[in-house]
Amino acid sequence: MKHVYERNVAMKTRDGVILYADVWRPLEGQAPTLLMRTPYNKETTFFGGGPNNPIPSVIAFLNAGYAVVWQDARGTYTSDGSFTPKVNEIEDGQDTAAWILEQDWSDGSIGTYGGSYMGMTQWALAISDTPGLKAIAPTVASANWYSGLWYSQGGALCLSLVTWWNAMMYAAEEQRALQNGETSDPSALMRLGAALVDPLSLNEATPVADLPLHGKGRWFDDWLAHPDFDDYWQSQDWSQSMSSVTVPVLASTGWYDLKMHEQVADFVRVRTQGGSELARDGSRLVIGPWDHTNLTGEYPDRYFGTLALGDLSASHVEFFDQTLRGRAPETPAPRVRLFVMGIDQWRDEQDFPLPDTRYTDYHLASGGAANTRDGDGTLDLDAPSAEARDEFRYDPRNPVPTAGGALLPSVPGFIGPVDQRAVDGREDVLCYTGPVLTEPVEVTGFVELKVFVSSTAVDTDITAKLVDVFPDGRAINLCDGILRLRYRNSLSQPELMEPGEVYEVTVPMSVTSNVFLPGHRIRLDISSSNFPHYDRNSNTGGVISSEALEDMVVADNTVHHGGARPSRLVLPIIER
C-alpha cells in the first residue's frame, strides 16, 4: 500500500484548542489507523524503532498497510494550549479518535501504541469507551500515576525520575517559549541543566526543598504537596477502572523498567476485571531484560546475550492484524512471553502470575557459613526457633547510593543490573545470603519481604533488594522495593511509629524472572535508603520535601527475626 505523508495536520478539540499531527494515510482506499499521542515531539528520531527503542518502527506499520497518526499533546511542541500532565488526555484523545473516524481514508478501526507517557494516553482512551478503538498497545507504561510512576509502591518519592522528567519538560517548555518569541527567562534552561543531564547531581547535600525546580509551581510542586495517596492521586488512578476496558491490551515492558510492577499488575487486572471477554482473553504480556528505553539487554555489569535484543515491531503488527483486521495468525501468539534471566532464554506461558507458582518463605537468620561478610546473616528455608536481631544506623545525610534498578534517567552504571559490591560493604546495608546452590532455582513473579522492624525514629524507610550472587563474586540486583513506614498500613492514611515498638510490615519488591544457577547464591539486601532513586527519609515524621538538612535526624533501625518474629523473603518459585 502506498501512503501520502502530511505534516502538521490540524485538529480542533471540543474546547477550541488546535492540536497538530503528522499523518501517513493511504494514497487510495481506506485502512485501519494506528494512533500515537506524545508530549515528547512527534518528529523526534526517538520514534524511529529498532532494538534500542521501546517504540515500534512506523515503517513496519506502513508496510503492513496501516495509516499512522503521530500527534503532539496539548501544549507541547507544535500543538496549541497549555500542557498539564494527564489532565486533558481523555477528552483530547477522544476528539482525535473522532477526527480520524471522519476521514475518508479511515476504515473505522483505531489501534493505539507508544511507550511511557504515550502508554498513559492509551489507557485514557481504553477506560473511556472511545468510539472506533479496537486495541491498545502500551509499552513501559502504567495506569496508576502514584505507585506506578512518581511514587513507589511503598510511598517514597521517585526522586531521580521526578526531577529529571520535570526538568526535561520545563526545559522544552522554556525552549518553545523562546522560539515563539514569548516572554521567558533564558537562564531557566541553565538552572535546569544539572538535574536534566546528571541524576547524580542530586547529591546528599541537596534536600528536595533546595532543588532548582522547587517553587517553580505547577505540577512539580503539586506532586511534592501530595506525598500521600490522597484524593489528588486517587482521581488520577485509572488502574481501578479496568472493568471499563473492553478492548485487548498488548503490554510490553522490561524487568528493569520503573513502571514494571504496576504495568504487570495492570495486565493482571485486565485479565481478571476487564469489561469484555475480548479484553480478558485477548490481552497479552511481553517482558524482556530491558529498562525504560534500552531494549538491547546489554549493560556494563551484565549482558543477557543475543536473544535479548528486542524489536517490538513484529509483535505489534501481529497484534493489530488480529484485533483491527480479524486476521488470526497461523500460530497463535502466546498470552505471556517472558525472558527468563539466568538461563537467558525466552519462554511462552499461559498466564501471569504463572499458574504453577509456589510462594516460598526464605527466612532471615543470623550468622552462618553462607554469609558473605562478617556479621551478615543467612537465608534459610527452615524458620529459626531462636529470636535475634540485626541493627544498623541510618543517617539521611549519608544515604546508600543508588546502584542499579528500575529507574530513570538511563545512565549506564546507574540503571538496570549493577554489581552491588559498590555498596554492600557499607555498615548500613544488611546482607542475608543463602547457601551455594547445587540445583537451579527459578524465581518468576511478584517478590516481597515480610519483616519485623523497630526504630528509634517515628518514621523511617526499609529498602529491600533481591540479588543474584555469581561464583566470581559479582552481585547483580534483580528487583527491589522500599516502604516508608508511615505507610505500613495505608498509602492514604499515614501513621507514625512508636519508637522502640516492633512492627510487622510488607515491603513490595516488584517482579522478576531469574534462574539462580548452581554455584550461585540468593541474597537479600536490607537498608533504609536508595538515593537518588528515592528521596531519603528525614526520620522526623514531617513533610520530607520541605525539610532542610539540619532538620533531619539519625535513626537506629533494627530487623527482628526468628521465633515469634519470622521475618522472611517471599519468593515465587517455579518447579522445572
Local structure of residue 545 (DSSP, 8 states): G
- Cα–Cα–Cα angle for 34, 3, 250, rounded to 5 degrees: 20
* 3-state SS assignment for residue 451: strand
Residues comprising the chain, all counted = 576
Question: Does an H or E element contain 452, and which?
Answer: strand 441-455
- Kindly tell me the burial class for residue 2, based on how many C-beta atoms sit within 10 Å of its own C-beta (0-12, 13-18, 19 or more): exposed
| Per-position DSSP letters for 253-304, written without gaps between them | EETT-TTHHHHHHHHHHHHHH-SSHHHHHH-EEEEES--SS--S-EETTEE-
Q: Under a CB-based contact definition with an 8 Å cutoff, are residues 462 and 528 in contact?
A: yes
**Cα Rg, the chain, nearest whole Å:** 24
Most distant CA pair in the chain, distance:
78
Between CA 113 and CA 122, with CA 116 as vertex, the angle to 5 degrees is: 40
3-state secondary structure of 101: helix
The verdict on whether 116 is a catalytic residue reads yes
- Report the candidate in 101, 118, 114, 9 with the shortest Cα–Cα distance to residue 61: 114
Q: Which one of the listed residues 22, 92, 257, 480 is annotated catalytic?
A: 257
The answer to whether the beta carbons of residues 466 and 509 sit under 8 Å apart is yes
- Retrieve residue 325's grid coordinates: 483486521
Cα-based distances in Å from 39 to 51, 115, 168, 172, 265: 22, 11, 11, 10, 25
Are residues 45 and 89 in contact, defined by beta-carbon separation less than 8 angstroms? Answer: no
Q: How far apart are CA 101 and CA 122, in angstroms?
A: 17
The catalytic residue among 116, 239, 455, 510 is 116
> Is there a catalytic annotation at residue 276?
no
DSSP at 80: -
The strand pairing partners of 389, in sequence order, are 560
Instruction: Report the DSSP beta bridge partners of residue 464.
Output: 481, 526
Answer whether 99's CB lies under 8 Å from 112's CB.
no
Q: Which of 438, 354, 408 is nearest to 150 (CA)?
A: 408
Q: How far, in Å, CA of 90 to CA of 280, rounded?
A: 22
| Ramachandran angles phi, psi of 536, nearest 5° | -90, 140
214 annotated active-site: no
Give pairs for 44-48: CB < 8 Å, separation 24+. none
Give me the active site residues, please. Answer: 116, 257, 292
